[in-house]
Amino acid sequence: MNIVAPAHPFADMLGLSVDSKQGGKSTCSLVFTERLLNPNNVVHGGVIYSMADTGMGGALTSLLGDGQLCATIEIKIMYLKPAGHYDLACNSEVIKQGRRVAILESEVFSGGELIAKATGSFAVF
């Protein structure tokens, strides 16, 4: 059976791809392009945040039942170093899932180096 993912226009605009999601984990990738740069010539923090957020959502939806949805409650992100002009990757994982709230983590990499780490809570409904 083919499962079709719902449309994600914002991720499409960024060029963000959810490469895998199963068992409470997901991986995302983003091909570097100069359109992602901020005025300081590094990838905009909002792009990195969006990767973490999307990755967490993907990880959580891999565990949800039919008819269940999720939405971000809050995310805290720590930017550890600037992203280079490299493709980006994000690994996300569900740490704890309750009936109404889940706690997740994401790590974002640029050129194989860890550049950001995020934790978040998501509502399940």
Contacts with 23 (C-beta within 8 Å, 6 or more apart), sequence order: 62, 63
The reply to whether 32 falls in a domain is yes
How many domains does the chain contain in total? 1
Question: Model confidence over 80-124: pLDDT tens digits?
Answer: 999 989 999 999 999 999 999 999 999 999 999 999 999 999 999
Which pLDDT belongs to residue 55?
97
The reply to whether 18 falls in a domain is no
Which pLDDT belongs to residue 45?
96
The reply to whether 116 falls in a domain is yes
Say whether pLDDT at 4 is over 90: no
Q: What span, in angstroms and rounded, lies between the C-alpha atoms of 113 and 86?
A: 10
Say whether pLDDT at 1 is over 80: no
Question: Predicted confidence band at 6 (pLDDT cuts at 50, 70, 90)?
Answer: low
The reply to whether 36 falls in a domain is yes
Which CATH number does the domain housing residue 100 bear? 3.10.129.10
The reply to whether 57 falls in a domain is yes
Question: Model confidence over 25-83: pLDDT tens digits?
Answer: 999 999 999 999 999 999 999 999 999 999 999 999 999 999 999 999 999 999 999 99
Q: What residues make up the domain containing 102? A: 24-124
The reply to whether 13 falls in a domain is no
Residue 68 Cα to chain centre, angstroms: 19
Sign of the dihedral defined by the CA atoms of residues 77, 83, 89, 91, in that order: negative
The reply to whether 19 falls in a domain is no
- Over residues 14-19, the mean pLDDT reads 92
Which pLDDT belongs to residue 7?
76
The reply to whether 15 falls in a domain is no
